[in-house]
Chains A and B, each alone.
Chain A
Amino acid sequence: MFVSRSMTRRVITVGLEATLFEIQDLMAQNGIRHVPVVDEDNKLIGIVSDRDVRSALPFRYLQEGISPEEKAKLQGLRAKDMMTRKVFTISPGYTIQDALLMIQNAKVGALPVVDEEGRLKGILSVRDLLRAFINVLGIGQPGTLLCILVEEKVGQLKKIVDAITAMGVSFGSVLVARYWEEDKRAVFPYLLTQNVAHVKKKLQEMGYTLIDPMQWYLDQLPEDERPPDKPKR
């Protein structure tokens, strides 16, 4: 679960004097959107994102071309002129969860990973996090997802897991959505089988309510995004 395991180690970086066009080329050729700026010791000084690059280019550049004077001025633009100096960074010892919360709060697309001396060790982007969580969710592993409504009582999850295990069915993963309804949670076991009819029946016999897949949601939508007819939680 550590950043050091999921981060990209071979980071493409530039020095303070790299030009706008050099950075733009690096991004295009490597399919990246963030280029950290480092000194000779590989210490992080700033970061240039593709948005910084595009903000520096007048839109006319792509359409009709620009005058030689404008071009000369653009050629003079360096990393030090465009970069963000106050960079959100994380340490290699952080967990993926730390990184997830950080990226969500900081509203950035990538986090450079630095050691205690501020030296760049790697970079972790939103894409790396998506890959890690796709693995955790088990998407791509063949199986069937169930949704069970449970009361907020200790021991509920164990009962469900025990019942399913007793039927000889394997688990891929189990997710719990904490804020479903008042006093209730939704448990999503991902079962590694095609054959769930008898599992559902057993759970219903045990008194659990299975929720219609079309009513599933894993996340609490912000207040203003909830459709008017959705139940309040």
Chain B
Amino acid sequence: MKRTGFVYDERYLLHKTGPYHPEVPERLTAIYEGIEQAGLLEKLIRVPAAPADLQWILNIHTAEYVKRFEAACRAGNQMFDSPDNEMCAQTYDVALLAVGGVLEACRGVMDGRLDNAFCAVRPPGHHAEASRAMGFCYFNNVAIAARFIQKQFGLGRVGIVDFDVHHGNGTQHIFEDDPTVYYYSIHQHPSFAYPGTGREFEYGQGDGYGFTKNSPVLPGQGDEDYRRLLNRDLFPAFAEFKPEVIIVSAGFDGHRDDDMSDTKVSTEFYTWMMLKIVEMAQTHSGGRIVSVLEGGYSLRRLPELARYHVESLLNG
């Protein structure tokens, strides 16, 4: 059994969105309960969350954006930058805490105290751009983590696997011209889903050309197509890129029972996928993985999805 870190903090529940908004605190309690009821809590190593040091956030987001976000939150605004980004008075602090938790997990993995980690955090991050909040995201947790690992631990190549059903436009754009961070995403086709980016022919720009890959999936497609695309696009790419650490943007909204997408992925498939990612990490990255929650909105399915995800990290 691996030494798997687990980031979870009750304060993540304090970020509240309005009625009809699917990004609710109950998502996190469902995840926690799934892990607890499977008897996994005692097997995991709890990682504490503290507010992140702004210097790491400023590697990715502009100072103007961070100030604007804080000011809007303190002023009591209930929406920021995009109508989808509903927030409350605690949102800014919770966002800082989410980043903080992820960074602490990264420290654990890079220090060798942990083999891998799962960060059950809110709000999610992969739609957040350097100076714009979008798609329920404020700070791009995964992007900040990637840069943090590189700068703090002198690591070269970071591989990001984003299997949230929505393309991680923020993460892709942040690293678009960077050959040291490989961004891979599998998601519902941009012609049929938010955010409308992540086309198959987007490969990166400038020096980063060839270090971005997108696998769009059509509505109605499921396990078979996902498997085919991962075999064709992800595994060979990472075999060539040889990431020194893998960061996963773990979104579970492609599940057949999740209303936020039209794809039909099964719980079993998410398990298979995570085991394959763990395998890749063993082969190329000394087993180092940090997995960070993005989307996933089926309160009915989140418990089992979280359980199998964590089991893959523990036993994979």
A residues within 8 Å of B by Cβ? Answer: 139-145, 167-170, 192-195, 197-198, 212-214
B196 touches A213 (CB 8 A): no
- Bound complex: CA of A143 vs CA of B191, how far in Å? 10
A169 touches B196 (CB 8 A): no
B21 touches A195 (CB 8 A): yes
B192 touches A142 (CB 8 A): no
- Bound complex: CA of A194 vs CA of B83, how far in Å? 10
A142 touches B195 (CB 8 A): yes
Please, which residues of chain A bring their CB within 8 A of the CB of B83?
A: 168-170, 192-193
Please, which residues of chain B bring their CB within 8 A of the CB of A139?
A: 196
Residue from B135, B218, B262 in contact with A142 in the complex, judged by beta carbons closer than 8 Å: B135
- Bound complex: CA of A167 vs CA of B136, how far in Å? 17
- Bound complex: CA of A144 vs CA of B197, how far in Å? 11
Please, which residues of chain B bring their CB within 8 A of the CB of A141?
A: 196
Secondary structure dominating the interface of B: loop
Please, which residues of chain B bring their CB within 8 A of the CB of A169?
A: 83
A193 touches B194 (CB 8 A): yes
A142-B197, A168-B83, A193-B194 known; A212 vs B219 contact (CB < 8 Å): yes
User: How many of B's residues come within 8 Å of A, CB to CB?
Assistant: 25
A212 touches B220 (CB 8 A): yes
Residues 187-200 of B, flagged 1 when their CB comes within 8 A of A and 0 if not, give 00001111111000
Residues 1-43 of B, flagged 1 when their CB comes within 8 A of A and 0 if not, give 0000000000000000000111000000000000000000000
B218 touches A144 (CB 8 A): no
- Bound complex: CA of A207 vs CA of B244, how far in Å? 54
| A/B interface sample: 5 pairs, CB < 8 A | A142-B134, A142-B194, A194-B135, A198-B20, A213-B219
- Bound complex: CA of A192 vs CA of B85, how far in Å? 12
Say yes or no: is B260 at the interface (Cβ < 8 Å to chain A). yes
Please, which residues of chain A bring their CB within 8 A of the CB of B268?
A: none
Please, which residues of chain B bring their CB within 8 A of the CB of A197?
A: 22, 259-260
Please, which residues of chain A bring their CB within 8 A of the CB of B135?
A: 142, 194
B192 touches A213 (CB 8 A): yes
Across the interface, name the chain A residue whose C-beta is closest to B253.
A194
Across the interface, name the chain B residue whose C-beta is closest to A198.
B20
Across the interface, name the chain A residue whose C-beta is closest to B18.
A168
A193-B83, A194-B136, A198-B20 known; A145 vs B259 contact (CB < 8 Å): no
A194 touches B219 (CB 8 A): no
Closest Cβ of chain B: how far from A3's Cβ, in Å? 28
Most interface-central of A143, A192, A193, A213 (chain B CB within 10 A): A213
Closest Cβ of chain B: how far from A210's Cβ, in Å? 11
- Bound complex: CA of A194 vs CA of B220, how far in Å? 18
A194 touches B259 (CB 8 A): no
A195-B22, A195-B84 known; A145 vs B191 contact (CB < 8 Å): yes
- Bound complex: CA of A167 vs CA of B18, how far in Å? 12
Across the interface, name the chain A residue whose C-beta is closest to B193.
A144
- Bound complex: CA of A212 vs CA of B262, how far in Å? 9
B20 touches A214 (CB 8 A): no
- Bound complex: CA of A169 vs CA of B84, how far in Å? 9
Across the interface, name the chain A residue whose C-beta is closest to B21.
A195
B219 touches A144 (CB 8 A): no
